Structure 1
Amino acid sequence: MYEEAGEVFDIFRGVFPISFLLFVPAVLIIVSPDPVEAAHEFSVYRMQQFDLQGTSYGCRNAIVNMEARSLGASMLTRRCVVTRLADLTVDKFKDLVDQSAGAVLVLLPDDLSNVPRENLEEFIELEHDLMDQDVNTPVYFAVEDNTLTKIYAAIQDGSNTDKAATATEALLHAASANGFQMVTTATQATPIKDAQITSIQGKLSGLGIEEHLPTVAIVAHYDTFGIAPHLSYGADSNGSGMVALLELARLFSKLYDNPKTHPKFNLLFLLSGGGKFNYQGTKRWIEDNLDHTDGSLLSEVSFVLCLDSVGSGDGLYLHVSKPPKEGSALHSFLEELKTVLDAQFPVVNFTMVHKKINLAEDLLAWEHERFSIRRLPAATLSHFPTHRALERQSITDQKFQVDPGVLTRNIRGLAEALARHIYNLTAKGHDGSMEIFQDGLNLHPKSIEAWLNSVTAQPRAAQLIGKDHTLLSTMEQAMNGYLKDVRRLTFKPDKRDPEFVFYSAMQTTMNAYNVKPAVFDLFLAVGIAVYLGLVYVAIINFHFLYNFVTSINTIKVKVKHQ
């Protein structure tokens, strides 16, 4: 055995460079724990960014490439703070900004319908308050999955280093913990050059000379708003308004197709775009009809009825900028609606709400105010008693917030009141209990729910609705099945003084890379230096070791021969 010692050392000495090369990777493999995947790619959605009438809103940065920290960590400068929705408040967000946090990633529950109501209300307030902040920090949202849950737990564990009792404990914990580098693939956000807003118009012409007949316009905007465009589904505001308009178009198209029930009234339907951006689509539509078109139906309109959030609650409110005069068409419709609801749906609390237009405010309260400014009689029907209801602009406005039964009930009440108005049934002695829409003219609850499922199947933020969007094609096709002269009306903002500006990079991919903290590199460097020093000393003094082993071998041989 000892005779071969020299050969063993010769072998080690010959393969030393290879042994050294294999040592460092072996160390890295041994000391690297892997509680989660080394890298995880997931979709993230950036906080709103847009300009409206010369004012900038929302988050103005998109690039993230920094180490992750939990909300409770003490060192947040140039770090990406990862937090759950339930843990974030406006005060905490302000603290993050004050500490120069580099970015914020908010993890959302995968199913908001399971979140307690009080927690949803808190988040809705948070959305509203965040949009009022001057935000230069990139703010992203992601839907939490199992992998993100593990990553979040690992980030929290790594952040506990800041809370260690001693510096030595903190140093050792930092060296052993895993960290994450959060990196987005997005470039800096830039204005969308071909941004546009599209509205869709259709009509049912009354019996007689169209230009001489009174007209009622039914209007609903189709776009949505929330803290992140790609998470804004707007089931109630204003998916319910869209569905109500389409169902009204279907019901009245049957009356207008039958010569026996063809009324001497024009019905005009408009699905407007840009509703959440101060009703830009409606504004342009009014201008085109009143300022640039001869013989417009809108110039002789009896009244305009806007539909906004009619899919929930036991209340209906008719919002007006000026109380309609007794004997006017709008007053007559108001009375008809009250009569129908009292007789057929007594559970519904119906009230007219009067609010003057405040021209000093940057944003209008309701869509009907666009018409009222041009002295057109108009009102908005909604289950919200005030325009300040924060639920109208929230990513929590999803399908579970709408009751299909309530939506069907409200559409029926509205249809009955509108039919009574155009046929003048009250003057003919028919009371409010008379049902017009029954048998072959009945509403289709399943169809209404199917439409609701369809319009809430994808986000409808105005930034996402391009000219080739499937939503526009679907709505146009549906209106073509019920109405006449259906057409799209598209406009782009003025290049010199744009009414609105949308920005890119609202959805991107983020990678969470599992990395060791910088202090681990220090420990590893020290370990490698010590190792190399020991190897160097061993090489320099190798002859002493060789002579020592040889002498022992010689002694053993002599003892054996004796």
Structure 2
Amino acid sequence: MQQYDLHGSQHGCRSSLVNMEARPIDAKMITRRCIVARLLEITVAKYRELLTENAGALLVLLPQDYQELSADSRKHLQSLERDLLMEETAIPVYFATETEELREIYEDIKRSSSTDQAATAVEALLSAATANGFQMVINGAQSKSLSDFQITNIQGHLAGFGIEEQLPTVAIVAHYDAFGIAPGLAQGADSNGSGVIALLEIARLFSKLYTNSRTHAKYNLIFLLTGGGKFNYQGTKRWIEDNLDSSETNVLSDISYALCLDSLGSTDELYLHVSKPPRDGSAGGIFVESLENVIKTYYPEVTFKVVHKKINLADDTLAWEHERFSIKRLPGFTLSHIDTPRSDDRNTILDTRGMVDEHKLTRNVQILAEALARHIYNMTEQRNVKLFTDTLAVQSGLVTAWLDQLVTHPRATQLLGKDHILLNSLEETMNRYLKDTKRTTLRADKRDPEFVFYDGAVYKMSAFNVKPAIFDLFLGLAIASYLGIMYFAAVNFSMVSFMEIRLQMSSRTLERMPIS
């Protein structure tokens, strides 16, 4: 289960070691036991009951194929993820995919718990002595904080035609990390793998346009992949602060808007989330108009809507990534197929490869590229001109390849250290299309850290098939009885021999007596 601190609040479980007997969730005796349960057996109320009754640990068995879950089951898991992380818990909580072997163990644990429901004490005692049980064990050291963990941003740019310092700038931004109840299961295919793919494809397409003098726009384009997006957009925050305070660059002083991409791989709806609606005639307003025209002209099956939501500074976390820009009075908005920031689809282990529709993701990237091109090339009036076609179109093969790559490794923030292979691949790809590609890293302030991550996302749990403690008691009593009998026989061996001789003599005397 997740373990992290954010803005001084602790979340997730604070313990990781397990060495205790397994019990099903409906067992009567659960104190200091490891509870093994299937997903649908766990509710928030039941979880709190386990804590009240001092359960030792919890192992939740997840289905192998999330696509087979019903809508109610999916909603159940997502609400469970949300509620369990709202508070700190002291017991270890683990999640594992239910394999055939695990299913057999689970059934054995259910059968062995029948002693708890025995009608009489004698029946319970005998059943306990003959049953088989499991000892669940995780050894090693307790998880510890990653005090020097670095969050990584990757950026590159395409310089516009003319004097670069005097040209307006558009920033395309996407965070690359994922989130879920268990870091080791957080794939984030849609949120925000789809946003990363959209950014990379747009960088590839516009790099072709910017290498030709006839299609070289008078706009600078900045492409920014940020880390810590699921933890209040820490990477974006630091990048804005560094560039606002920098005397070497005027990137943010000339920014027209920041276009943030988040969850674009599903449904036929697109929402543009804004903190302040862009004015008509402004750069942001022209982009919104271009987006509406492209959808209306070429993709009528798509529903588009601008969603206005003010920033609530009283909340612990921001709703969307563009709000980091809006706080600094920089224009920005977030494009997503999700209509509300509170959607559980953004932070769940259910966000796997099967959740993304490759066709719809390709289409949405195409829409985005066309709208952006209409703005920076001043083509808003040319509604019947489609720029990205044939060899310049979005390549569905690349979209699929990147999607496969991004779900190969879990992308929880604490698993993506600065030298992670995925970050190397992203940097190499951006360097192929863009100029001055570089990484920047940030660490939490040691005196007052905004975030603290912990190691230990994937563990190996051993299930030992053992007899219960009552069996050892019976065995001890049997051995003690046997040794007592043998000791008594050895000490009283002469008396036993004497009695045997007396019996033999009595038998001979009886044989010699006359019978009348």
Q: TM-score range by the shorter chain?
A: over 0.9
Q: Cα gap change, 1:554/1:149 in structure 2, threshold over 3 Å: closer, same or farther? A: farther
Equivalent pairs, count? 509
Q: Cα gap change, 1:553/1:504 in structure 2, threshold over 3 Å: closer, same or farther? A: farther
67, 79, 88: which one pairs with 2:21?
Answer: 67
Asked whether the equivalents of residues 215 and 267 of structure 1 are also in contact (C-alpha less than 8 Å), the reply is yes
Q: Cα gap change, 1:188/1:553 in structure 2, threshold over 3 Å: closer, same or farther? A: farther
State the Cα distance separating 1:493 from its structure 2 match: 1.0
1:108 and 2:62 correspond: yes
- RMSD over aligned CA atoms reads 1.9
Counterpart in the other structure of 1:58 = 12
1:468 and 2:419 correspond: yes
Instruction: State the distance in 2 between where 1:482 and 1:554 align.
Output: 113
- Tell me the alpha carbon deviations over residues 234-283 of structure 1, each in whole angstroms, 9 at most, x when there is no partner: 00000000000000001111111111111111111000000001000000
479, 489, 492: which one pairs with 2:430?
Answer: 479
What TM-score does the superposition give when structure 1 sets the normalisation length? 0.87
Counterpart in the other structure of 1:442 = 393
Query: How do 1:229-308 residues align onto structure 2 when only pairs under 5 Å count?
Result: 229-308=183-262
Residue type of the alignment partner of 1:90: V
Instruction: State the distance in 2 between where 1:412 and 1:434 align.
Output: 14
State the Cα distance separating 1:549 from its structure 2 match: 7.7
Instruction: State the distance in 1 between where 2:245 and 2:8 align.
Output: 24
1:185 and 2:127 correspond: no
Residue type of the alignment partner of 1:243: I
State the Cα distance separating 1:344 from its structure 2 match: 0.9
Task: Provide the identity percentage.
Answer: 56
Asked whether the equivalents of residues 321 and 356 of structure 1 are also in contact (C-alpha less than 8 Å), the reply is yes
Asked whether the equivalents of residues 289 and 299 of structure 1 are also in contact (C-alpha less than 8 Å), the reply is no
3-state secondary structure, aligned to 2:89: coil
Give runs of ≥4 in structure 1 deviating > 6 Å: 547-556
- Tell me the alpha carbon deviations over residues 137-166 of structure 1, each in whole angstroms, 9 at most, x when there is no partner: 111112222222221111111112111111
Asked whether the equivalents of residues 197 and 492 of structure 1 are also in contact (C-alpha less than 8 Å), the reply is yes
Instruction: State the distance in 2 between where 1:239 and 1:510 align.
Output: 30
- Tell me the alpha carbon deviations over residues 4-23 of structure 1, each in whole angstroms, 9 at most, x when there is no partner: xxxxxxxxxxxxxxxxxxxx
3-state secondary structure, aligned to 2:213: coil
Counterpart in the other structure of 2:479 = 528
State the Cα distance separating 1:311 from its structure 2 match: 0.2
State the Cα distance separating 1:167 from its structure 2 match: 1.1
Instruction: State the distance in 1 between where 2:467 and 2:380 align.
Output: 78
State the Cα distance separating 1:548 from its structure 2 match: 8.0
Query: How do 1:331-350 residues align onto structure 2 when only pairs under 5 Å count?
Result: 331-350=285-304
Counterpart in the other structure of 2:406 = 455
State the Cα distance separating 1:531 from its structure 2 match: 1.7
Residue type of the alignment partner of 2:162: G
What TM-score does the superposition give when structure 2 sets the normalisation length? 0.95
- Tell me the alpha carbon deviations over residues 3-44 of structure 1, each in whole angstroms, 9 at most, x when there is no partner: xxxxxxxxxxxxxxxxxxxxxxxxxxxxxxxxxxxxxxxxxx
Counterpart in the other structure of 1:31 = none
Deviates more, 1:376-385 or 1:136-145: 136-145
Instruction: State the distance in 2 between where 1:416 and 1:193 align.
Output: 44
Query: How do 1:470-509 residues align onto structure 2 when only pairs under 5 Å count?
Result: 470-509=421-460
Query: How do 1:302-341 residues align onto structure 2 when only pairs under 5 Å count?
Result: 302-341=256-295
Instruction: State the distance in 2 between where 1:447 and 1:94 align.
Output: 46
Gaps of 5+ in 1: 1-46
Asked whether the equivalents of residues 10 and 88 of structure 2 are also in contact (C-alpha less than 8 Å), the reply is no
Query: How do 1:58-457 residues align onto structure 2 when only pairs under 5 Å count?
Result: 58-427=12-381, 430-431=382-383, 433-457=384-408
State the Cα distance separating 1:540 from its structure 2 match: 4.1
3-state secondary structure, aligned to 1:508: coil
Asked whether the equivalents of residues 186 and 505 of structure 1 are also in contact (C-alpha less than 8 Å), the reply is no
Deviates more, 1:438-447 or 1:470-479: 438-447
Counterpart in the other structure of 1:10 = none
State the Cα distance separating 1:479 from its structure 2 match: 0.3
Asked whether the equivalents of residues 283 and 370 of structure 1 are also in contact (C-alpha less than 8 Å), the reply is yes
State the Cα distance separating 1:230 from its structure 2 match: 1.1
Asked whether the equivalents of residues 187 and 505 of structure 1 are also in contact (C-alpha less than 8 Å), the reply is no
Asked whether the equivalents of residues 68 and 80 of structure 1 are also in contact (C-alpha less than 8 Å), the reply is yes
446, 456, 462: which one pairs with 1:511?
Answer: 462
State the Cα distance separating 1:291 from its structure 2 match: 1.1
